Amino acid sequence: MENQQNRTEIAQLGEFGLIDHLTQNTEIKHASTLKGIGDDAAVVDNSHQVSVISTDMLVEGVHFDMMYTPMQHLGFKAIAVNVSDICAMNAKATHVLVSIAISNRYSVEALEALYEGIHHACAYFDVDLIGGDTTTSLKGLVISVTAFGAANEQQLSYRNGAKEGDLICVTGDLGAAYVGLQLLEREKNIYLENPNIQPDLENKKHIIGRILRPEARQDIIQYFAEKNIVPTAMMDISDGLSSELLHICKQSACGAIIYETAIPIHAETYAQAQIFNIDPLVCALNGGEDYELVFTIPQSAAAAIEKHEGISVIGKIVAQSEGVRLKSGNDNYYPLEAQGWNAFTSK
Amino acid sequence: MENQQNRTEIAQLGEFGLIDHLTQNTEIKHASTLKGIGDDAAVVDNSHQVSVISTDMLVEGVHFDMMYTPMQHLGFKAIAVNVSDICAMNAKATHVLVSIAISNRYSVEALEALYEGIHHACAYFDVDLIGGDTTTSLKGLVISVTAFGAANEQQLSYRNGAKEGDLICVTGDLGAAYVGLQLLEREKNIYLENPNIQPDLENKKHIIGRILRPEARQDIIQYFAEKNIVPTAMMDISDGLSSELLHICKQSACGAIIYETAIPIHAETYAQAQIFNIDPLVCALNGGEDYELVFTIPQSAAAAIEKHEGISVIGKIVAQSEGVRLKSGNDNYYPLEAQGWNAFTSK
């Protein structure tokens, strides 16, 4: 909870004062940014590359809960999830626009913390903040980010290029964000029942960090560039591995088999899933929000991929008639189902 | 109010079903759109021009009231206000991304109507819809649009290029949106008190149309291109003429004099302002939301500008020491003040 003694009302600064205040530390590092914040629009020089553009909206109460989301982390995450979409095209993120709608429940200090996270993420991912919109909401906080990247056209990875025989790979580990979120929800409920009980988050750094401050795998995109690898298809894992793999197979008109035993799951994820009495595999397949990458490569690229210890080969692309299936540890086959996003379901 | 018999719940379609449903009629008309909706990001080929990028957020209860805002018009307006920002750079809008957050109070039919307006605006302004995000809100509707335009770098009009001696011009007429909004608010209150009284909107087409379905002045940008005119500074009028002119003068380090008698005000605006007992000039100076253009040109371009009956020369740029002033009909001078946006003020 913010310190009430250091509370500046947004109305004290006004719109233009607020925007100036929050964006005064914006550094422009890309020569392609001809005009950043401060005019009707930003101007970017794309020279001979193509632009890759993505947008994502984060809504308080839907995508984050202010009870356990530090403002700095939220700002970082808002940038990271958009950079992740650019990575998923095998492109390098270069510019972001950030729009926020906020109720006057928030102070200027809270927004400063949000922008601290935004600026930190921009520096971390090497992107320029070039514009946005700041407005009022009747309730809660909405953050809408648009990210731009640059790429040579022949380097792009769409969803529709997977070919029979390609290897299916994922980066990092899966399911951590899901169990991290369940843990934060549990601690919130304990706190609401008894504010004197302090949360025990020892040995939970990985799973908590994953949900509050996810990475975008720009390092993997750079590795691809160094090794001259262009994935035949790629997505970032926001809705869950099953959901993303079904998208790739649908758009590429192919099937897939993935191996249960090959799916990377972190020790903390295993341990926490066991405490919650849920199957870690289900977390990894359907959890979502891990912002790792799932991609397919020709077998000719296998050697370079296997050298990278942050990448796991988890299966292969097969004929469309074979469907999209999981092969379990005891050699049974189960069709994968998309269980991802169901926020619209009436409660 | 929507017909309850034709109500489809958003949950019946799910996220991907909803996006497919709403975007199935999206036409791609620009060859530069290499990839539109349906991947992690859109891909745009910019060849040798620069990209001009702007974003705007519309929040229910802040920027629009569903009591009197038809969904189609809202969709159109969301695109128009962003295209207007691109026009204000003297660039041609080419692509848009649309993100919406909606509560399940809205039906699929309501969203269809919103997208009908969005698609209509895209066709009207000749822009491609290339992506977006669709998510849940806890309350109300939030629309965030990012627009892209293309331009040759030397053709751009920033805010900081106005020079002493330049003429100050505006397009169309001013103040209409402000009195239109006041009228809609009055009719809403009458309706809430007595639903049997039908609103009398005879002879109000211009002022109502201006607030519900504003234009973006792409025609003027095209005229500039035909006549080889590049405004030395330009903005679109969203916060009010005074506010925009103060921005131009601040960024251009100059002063300005505008003439009361030269400011274009529509007959309907005059008539309605008189009914409300407010000064039409105040509406024109501070009203905002007209989405006309204010720009400065060297006197050498005066002849071409004066030929266009939709453009009014309203003043001239002077030395910074002279300030930013209005010369009244009886030759008095008044300093202009920004009264625009005050939505953050506590109520």
Torsion, Cα B175 B177 B182 B185, to 10 degrees, reads 180
Among residues of chain B, what percentage have pLDDT more than 90?
A: 63
Cβ pair A49, B91 in contact under 8 A: no
Q: Using the beta-carbon criterion (under 8 Å), do B138 and A345 form an inter-chain contact?
A: no
Query: Domain A9-155: what homologous superfamily?
Result: PurM-like, N-terminal domain (3.30.1330.10)
Task: Point out which residues pair with A146 in neighbouring strands.
Answer: A55, A97
CATH class of A167-335: alpha beta
| Contacts B234 to A, Cβ<8 Å | 40
Distance CA A4, CA A27 (A): 30
pTM of the model: 0.88
What does DSSP say about strands B128-136 and B141-151: parallel, antiparallel, or unpaired? unpaired
What's the pLDDT tens digit per position in A56-101? 999 999 999 999 999 999 999 999 999 999 999 999 998 899 999 9
In this prediction, residues A292-304 reach a mean pLDDT of: 96
What's the pLDDT tens digit per position in B163-180? 999 999 999 999 999 999
The CA distances from residue A215 to A313, B255, B293, B346, in Å, are: 20, 48, 42, 38
Q: Which residue has the higher pLDDT, B16 or B119?
A: B119
The CA distances from residue B296 to B174, B224, B277, B326, in Å, are: 17, 12, 32, 16
What's the pLDDT tens digit per position in A99-117? 999 888 888 888 889 999 9
Distance CA A43, CA A97 (A): 12
The CA distances from residue A150 to A46, A118, A128, B74, B95, in Å, are: 8, 20, 13, 32, 16
| Contacts B61 to A, Cβ<8 Å | 138
Q: Identify the pLDDT of residue A1.
A: 41
Among residues of chain A, what percentage have pLDDT more than 90?
A: 63
Q: How confident is the model at residue A256 (pLDDT cuts 50, 70, 90)?
A: very high
In what helix (H) or strand (E) does residue B234 lie, and over which residues does it extend? strand B233-236
Q: Identify the pLDDT of residue B150.
A: 86
Nearest chain A Cα distance for residue B14, angstroms: 7
Q: How confident is the model at residue A339 (pLDDT cuts 50, 70, 90)?
A: low
Q: The complex's ipTM?
A: 0.84
In what helix (H) or strand (E) does residue B20 lie, and over which residues does it extend? helix B10-23
Q: Which residue has the higher pLDDT, B81 or A342?
A: B81
**Is the minimum CB–CB distance between A61 and chain B shorter than 8 Å?**
yes
Q: Identify the pLDDT of residue A346.
A: 33
What's the pLDDT tens digit per position in B10-34? 777 776 677 677 777 777 777 777 7
- Classify residue A300 by burial, with Cβ atoms within 10 Å: 0-12, 13-18, 19+: exposed
Residue B25 CB neighbours (<10 A): 11
**Is the minimum CB–CB distance between A290 and chain B shorter than 8 Å?**
no
Q: Identify the pLDDT of residue A16.
A: 67
Distance CA B315, CA B319 (A): 13
Q: Which residue has the higher pLDDT, A133 or A42?
A: A133
Distance CA A18, CA A104 (A): 13
pLDDT of A25 higher than 90: no
Alpha helices in chain A (DSSP H): 10-23, 71-87, 108-125, 176-193, 205-212, 218-226, 241-252, 267-276, 280-286, 302-307
In this prediction, residues A156-164 reach a mean pLDDT of: 94
Q: Identify the pLDDT of residue A117.
A: 94
In this prediction, residues A46-57 reach a mean pLDDT of: 83
Q: Using the beta-carbon criterion (under 8 Å), do A62 and B135 form an inter-chain contact?
A: yes
In this prediction, residues B158-164 reach a mean pLDDT of: 94
CATH number of B11-155: 3.30.1330.10
**Nearest residue, CB atoms, B146 vs list A9, A89, A146:** A146
Classify the C-alpha dihedral A166-A171-A176-A177 as positive or negative.
Answer: negative
Residue B289 CB neighbours (<10 A): 21
Half-sphere exposure of A215 (CA within 13 A, CB side): 14
Q: Identify the pLDDT of residue A59.
A: 94
What's the pLDDT tens digit per position in B265-292? 999 999 999 999 999 999 999 998 999 9
pLDDT of A29 higher than 70: yes
Mean pLDDT for chain A overall = 88
Pick from B296, B281, B282: nearest CA to B170:
B296
pLDDT of A343 higher than 60: no
Q: Identify the pLDDT of residue B305.
A: 94
Q: Using the beta-carbon criterion (under 8 Å), do B59 and A342 form an inter-chain contact?
A: no
| Contacts B340 to A, Cβ<8 Å | 15
Q: How confident is the model at residue B344 (pLDDT cuts 50, 70, 90)?
A: very low
Q: Identify the pLDDT of residue A246.
A: 95
Classify the C-alpha dihedral B174-B177-B180-B186 as positive or negative.
Answer: negative
What's the pLDDT tens digit per position in A231-243? 999 999 999 999 9
**Nearest residue, CB atoms, B346 vs list A11, A45, A342:** A11
- Where exactly are the structural domains of chain A? 9-155, 167-335
Q: How confident is the model at residue A341 (pLDDT cuts 50, 70, 90)?
A: very low
Cross-sheet strand order for the sheet of A324-327: A233-236, A293-297, A167-171, A311-318, A255-259, A324-327, A333-335
In this prediction, residues B100-126 reach a mean pLDDT of: 90
Distance CA A216, CA A229 (A): 19
Q: Which residue has the higher pLDDT, B133 or A166?
A: A166
- Tokens matching residue A258: 């993935």
Tokens 């210890």, residue? A309
In this prediction, residues A4-14 reach a mean pLDDT of: 73
Q: Which residue has the higher pLDDT, A17 or B217?
A: B217
Distance CA B91, CA B344 (A): 31
In what helix (H) or strand (E) does residue B98 lie, and over which residues does it extend? strand B92-102
Q: Using the beta-carbon criterion (under 8 Å), do A34 and B63 form an inter-chain contact?
A: no
Q: Which residue has the higher pLDDT, B89 or B133?
A: B89
Phi, psi of A105 (to 5 degrees): -65, -30
In this prediction, residues B43-52 reach a mean pLDDT of: 77
Q: At what angle do helices B218-226 and B71-87 cross, to 10 degrees?
A: 30
Pick from B333, B170, B336: nearest CA to B264:
B170
Cross-sheet strand order for the sheet of B141-151: A33-35, A42-45, B50-59, B141-151, B92-102, B128-136
Q: Using the beta-carbon criterion (under 8 Å), do A52 and B41 form an inter-chain contact?
A: yes
Q: Identify the pLDDT of residue A5.
A: 62
| Amino acid sitting at position B121 | A
| Amino acid sitting at position B253 | A
Distance CA A330, CA A326 (A): 11
Cβ pair A22, A112 in contact under 8 A: yes
Pick from B85, B83, B95: nearest CA to B26:
B95
